[in-house]
Amino acid sequence: MASKSEPQTGAPCHEDVRDSKTLVETYPVIKDSDPPSLSDQFPEGGLAAWTTVLGSFLVQFCGYGYATSFGVYQDFYTQYYLTNQTSSAISWIGSFNMFLLTAVGIVSGSLYDRGYFYHLMIAGSLLQSFSLFMLSLSKPDQYYQIFLAQGLGSGIAAGLMFVPSTAVVAHYFRRKRTLVLTFVASGSSLGATIHPIMLNNLLNGPLGFSNGVRASAGLVSVLLLIACLCMRTRLDPPTTPVNYIGAARKCIHDVPFVLMIAGAFLFQLGFYYPMFFLQLDSIKHGLSTTFSFYSLVILNAANCVGRVTSGFIAAFTGVPNLTIAATIACGVLNLGFIGLSNLASATVLGVIYGYFAGIFIGSWVSLMADLTPDLSELGARMGICFCLSGDLSFILGTPISGALLTSNYIWWIPALFSGVIALAGSMMYILMRLMLLKRRSKERSAQLEVLESHP
């Protein structure tokens, strides 16, 4: 009799099977032998695994976390440093930075799959440090200088590191992957909490813009150095690199994956509105300068809690269901920003929105991994998804909000746009879930047929 830890003869491990073809190829029926479990191929821990997780956490802290702290710069540039530019023009700096963070993922994901992980991390770290130090040399009302350093240089740098630093975690974890990826994702929300505190006190303090940005650049440089020393790859690159054209063709025929991309695009058109404009919104509504400076900190602290807890909640609800709930909540709360008028409303909206935004971000990469049958294509699929969904939404969403805001600061119009478009994205996620249930029902039927034909 087989021990309890061993699967029954000829029985596949159902949680690791994606479709009937994978079932047959992964678990060929061989009498009198037990098939291996895919989870045994992943160490699920160890020194190299956890130092890699720490390094990935720090990359998110310095990359995505710094980019989503742009609300501080949006406020500072609008009021003091780029007074000759509109809110929409200024928001292009931050949105272009976010656009490149994901657009470059197409290139970095492909290079990562070809074994250039360390090259990408070192080049991205050096470029991020250089770009921030160059930003400190930018002069007032010199829009092009700030755009080149912060929008272009820093965006490319973060893009070189983002996909590889996230995908490398999959080398070490499968069973714990969702939980570990939520911890990694919390690095960006922690960064988006720490960086605004530091930047608000530096830019508006005795150091001023130039020295304040240099101090921030110094911190980022040290942390990225530590990250590069911590991260290690475990698996050799595939002998035949992933064909992006082939991966894209598979994605086109993968209906749930296509719906996920469409949902992410629509949702993220409105997703970043509070992160870019909450601080300016608070100041223009007459709230105290001290509270306004910490409004983004409140939002991002709640965001950090949301990212960390998303992994635990997903264990009970499932990643698709949790993503749907988070997107609906964010869309409704975006509409709630129409009523922001006092300290209480700003605090409540910031905390609740930050929490559900954190749940969405913490679940997004896990959702992509769940919808990727072949992990050798994970880097390619992440790059494709980030490019098609994140890029256009990043580069369009906040500039549209800034244009709708106008120089008269009509706050209800961009809040309405952000809320409605985010809810439209949540509807696409619901369709994704329905198609996923339909596909998995067919897979279970196919699995049963295979098992019945090979007792």
Q: What is the pLDDT of residue 337?
A: 87
pLDDT mean across residues, the chain: 80
Question: Is 188 inside a domain boundary?
Answer: yes
Question: Is 71 inside a domain boundary?
Answer: yes
Provide the residue type at 308 as one letter. V
**How would you write the chain as a 3-class SS string?**
CCCCCCCCCCCCCHHHCCCHHHHHHHCCCCCCCCCCCHHHHCCCCCHHHHHHHHHHHHHHHHCHHHHCCHHHHHHHHHHHHCCCCCHHHHHHHHHHHHHHHHHCHHHHHHHHHCCCHHHHHHHHHHHHHHHHHHHCCCCCCCHHHHHHHHHHHHHHHHHHHHHHHHHHHHHCCCCCHHHHHHHHHHHHHHHHHHHHHHHHHHHCCCCHHHHHHHHHHHHHHHHHHHHHHHCCCCCCCCCCCCCHHHHHHHHHHCHHHHHHHHHHHHHHHHHCHHHHHHHHHHHHCCCCHHHHHHHHHHHHHHHHHHHHHHHHHHHHHCHHHHHHHHHHHHHHHHHHHHHCCCHHHHHHHHHHHHHHHHHHHHHHHHHHHHCCCCHHHHHHHHHHHHHHHHHHHHHHHHHHHHHHHCCCCCCHHHHHHHHHHHHHHHHHHHHHHHHHHHHHHHHHHHHHHHHHHCC
Q: Which two tokens stand for residue 320?
A: 């698709």
pLDDT, tens digit (0-9, with 9 covering 90-100), for 331-346: 999 998 888 888 888 8
Q: What is the pLDDT of residue 42?
A: 72
pLDDT, tens digit (0-9, with 9 covering 90-100), for 376-433: 677 677 767 777 776 677 778 878 888 888 878 888 898 999 999 999 999 999 999 9
Closest of 147, 154, 152 to residue 126, by C-alpha: 154
Q: What is the pLDDT of residue 344?
A: 86
How confident is the prediction along the chain (455 residues), in pLDDT tens digits per residue?
433 333 333 333 433 433 433 333 333 333 333 334 444 477 777 788 899 999 999 999 998 888 888 888 888 888 888 888 888 888 889 888 888 887 887 788 778 878 888 999 999 999 999 999 999 999 888 888 999 999 899 999 998 998 888 888 877 877 777 778 777 877 887 888 888 888 888 888 788 888 999 999 999 999 999 999 998 888 777 666 666 677 777 777 788 888 988 898 899 888 888 887 888 888 887 788 778 778 878 888 888 888 778 878 888 888 889 999 999 999 999 998 888 888 888 888 889 999 999 888 878 877 887 777 776 677 677 767 777 776 677 778 878 888 888 878 888 898 999 999 999 999 999 999 988 888 777 777 777 777 777 65
Question: Is 359 inside a domain boundary?
Answer: yes
User: What is the separation of C-alpha 427 from the centre of its chain, rounded to a whole number of angstroms?
Assistant: 20
Question: Is 119 inside a domain boundary?
Answer: yes
Q: What is the pLDDT of residue 226?
A: 94
Q: Describe the crossing of helices 289-317 and 343-370 by its angle, rounded to 10 degrees.
A: 40
Q: What is the pLDDT of residue 227?
A: 93
Closest of 239, 244, 234, 269 to residue 390, by C-alpha: 269
Question: Is 104 inside a domain boundary?
Answer: yes
Check if the beta carbon of residue 411 is closer than 8 Å to that of residue 337. Answer: yes
Q: What residue numbers bound the domain in which 200 lies?
A: 46-233+241-443
Closest of 145, 415, 435, 96 to residue 263, by C-alpha: 435
Question: Is 333 inside a domain boundary?
Answer: yes
Provide the domain count of the chain: 1
pLDDT, tens digit (0-9, with 9 covering 90-100), for 36-63: 444 447 777 778 889 999 999 999 999 8
CA gap 405, 403 in Å, rounded: 5
pLDDT, tens digit (0-9, with 9 covering 90-100), for 185-216: 778 878 888 888 888 888 887 888 889 999 99
Burial 90-118 (b: 16+ CB within 10 A, else e): bbbbbbbbbbbbbbbbbbbbbbbbeeebe
Question: Is 115 inside a domain boundary?
Answer: yes
Question: Is 7 inside a domain boundary?
Answer: no
Q: What is the pLDDT of residue 376?
A: 65
Q: CATH number for the domain including 199?
A: 1.20.1250.20
Q: What is the pLDDT of residue 421?
A: 93
Q: What is the pLDDT of residue 332?
A: 94
Q: What is the pLDDT of residue 165?
A: 87
Q: What is the pLDDT of residue 388?
A: 74
